[in-house]
Structure 1
Amino acid sequence: MLTALIWGLIAASSLLIGAVGGVIRDWNRRLVGLVLGFGAGALIASISFELAEAGFRASGAWAVALGLALGAVVFYAADKAVDRMGRNGTQTAGLPLLLGALLDGIPEQTALGIGIATGAGVSLALVVSIFVSNLPESIGSATDMKDAGHPAAKIVGGWALIAALCALATVGGYQLQNVVGAQFEGAINGFAAGALLVMLVGSMIPEATEKAGENAGLAAVLGFAVAAGLSVAG
């Protein structure tokens, strides 16, 4: 469990790094889009090789398919709730932005904990994917919060809390895998993969394309190649 916590903290640390970066300086919009594209490609590779493939081997196609559907529906409903909060609320302390980052981070880090619990070792591809994909999200959100007049200490403190909760999700994934056993591994992997796919298609990839244009596609392929290579090497 300690291993899961340590790697969870490493992966989630980019949320805090990005938030600090967003507070202390302005970032080129195109660069943020390119990093988003790279992170999206890396996550797609991790979903393919670290979640779906491992789930198929452990529990078969039906378990993964059911998990995919459930994860997608749960994430979609939760994401809609956060969107409504952002539209109808007053954006107090950037709460919708923080909750959105937490919502994205939970399935990613849960999947990392699941992989560690199976005894397959730490997935460097997934760690890199999570770390890279967190950076532009936290940079952009912290910048927006700074422009809205929120104090820097409050912004960084909020993101530190989100990073800690995401790291704990890694421990949660580790414990969940140990409790339910290997027979449910495919369903759990599928759940995390379904949630991530909805996030990728619904927000991360469109935002990358909006900010970086066609170059986002090339960045995504590069991210996929790096993460796929790390998966094979691992």
Structure 2
Amino acid sequence: MLLEILLYAGFAGITVIIGGLLANFFNHHMEETPVKYEITHTMMAFGGGIILSAVGLVLVPKGLEQLSLWPMIIAFIAGSMLFYFIDKKLAAKGGQMATLLAMLMDFVPESIALGAIFATDPSTGTLLAIFIGLQNLPEAFNSFRDMVLSGFSVTKTLVIFAFLSFSGVLGALLGHFVLSDYPEMTAYLMVFASGGILYLIFQDIAPESKMEKSFVPSLGATLGFLVGMIGEKVI
């Protein structure tokens, strides 16, 4: 069981560094053309669609199963307000870290849930790991661009992504050994994360993905949400 958790959590996390490497190649080794910018904006919208699907299909529904009304409201508002203040502070410094924050708010709770689920339903845990891995790829692709624009060097960004790739393993182990017997705590974490993610989507990710005289990026968002629908249906 422990080996399975390590393998699947490792797969779910390794797509973070893969997404960063792909973004580095795309941003620095491909000619600057209108098509390149259209692809970049489409990937941003695609990642936003996947994150939104994670909120609507995984994080909130799983949280609602365990929480009553007022705890749910408090956890959701707390997540929204925390990332409102974080985003406001970053904006004052000229930072563009919204996609990275959204990825973390999505990836960490799902990794913890992955570890907790494996204790009772390994088949569902396997499919959830695949789902997490698929959504991490475009999210990391977009986060790489944000971090470089914020002033991080390529090397430093890739080192951070390598660290994040393995943080999912730690989250899964935490969920398996600590929170598998406390589903309510996991639910609080999921709803808290959902509030923060929704704030970031509508404040930063969706506006940044829009491109003048191009309607393709919006299709990317719908395809991203479809990926989440497919993953949830399979699970």
Which residue in 1 is equivalent to 2:234?
A: 233
| Number of positions where the alignment pairs a residue of Structure 1 with one of Structure 2 | 216
* 1:122-154 Cα distance to aligned partner (Å, 9 max, x none): 423333222113213424654x58xxxx8xxx8
Q: Does 1:22 align with 2:23?
A: no
Retained in 2: the 8 A contact 1:33–1:208?
yes
Retained in 2: the 8 A contact 1:72–1:198?
yes
Q: Does 1:113 align with 2:114?
A: no
The more displaced of 107-116 and 13-22 is: 13-22
Q: Distance in 1 between matches of 2:112 and 2:13?
A: 11
Deviation (angstroms), 1:62: 3.8
Unmatched segments (≥5 aa) in structure 1: 87-95
Retained in 1: the 8 A contact 2:15–2:136?
no
Which residue in 2 is equivalent to 1:208?
A: 209
Which residue in 1 is equivalent to 2:140?
A: 134
SS in 2 for 1:118: helix
Retained in 2: the 8 A contact 1:125–1:228?
no
Which residue in 2 is equivalent to 1:64?
A: 72
The more displaced of 161-170 and 73-82 is: 161-170
Deviation (angstroms), 1:73: 1.4
Which residue in 1 is equivalent to 2:121?
A: none
Structure 2 CA distance for partners of 1:218 and 1:6, relative to 1, 3 Å: closer
TM-score, structure 2 normalization: 0.77
Deviation (angstroms), 1:197: 1.0
Which residue in 2 is equivalent to 1:92?
A: none
SS in 1 for 2:79: helix
Q: Which of the residues 123, 131, 150 maps onto 1:125?
A: 131
Q: Distance in 2 between matches of 1:66 and 1:176?
A: 24
SS in 1 for 2:210: helix
Which residue in 1 is equivalent to 2:41?
A: 33
Q: Distance in 2 between matches of 1:212 and 1:188?
A: 40
Residue identity matched to 1:202? Q
Q: Which of the residues 41, 53, 63 maps onto 1:45?
A: 53
Q: Distance in 1 between matches of 2:84 and 2:77?
A: 11
Structure 2 CA distance for partners of 1:212 and 1:190, relative to 1, 3 Å: farther
Retained in 1: the 8 A contact 2:98–2:204?
no
Which residue in 2 is equivalent to 1:174?
A: 172
Deviation (angstroms), 1:61: 4.3
Structure 2 CA distance for partners of 1:191 and 1:31, relative to 1, 3 Å: same
CA RMSD of aligned residues (A): 2.8
TM-score, structure 1 normalization: 0.78
Residue identity matched to 1:54? K
Q: Which of the residues 161, 172, 186 maps onto 1:163?
A: 161
Retained in 2: the 8 A contact 1:102–1:166?
no
Retained in 1: the 8 A contact 2:51–2:103?
no
Q: Distance in 2 between matches of 1:100 and 1:30?
A: 20
Structure 2 CA distance for partners of 1:169 and 1:76, relative to 1, 3 Å: farther
Residue identity matched to 1:17? L
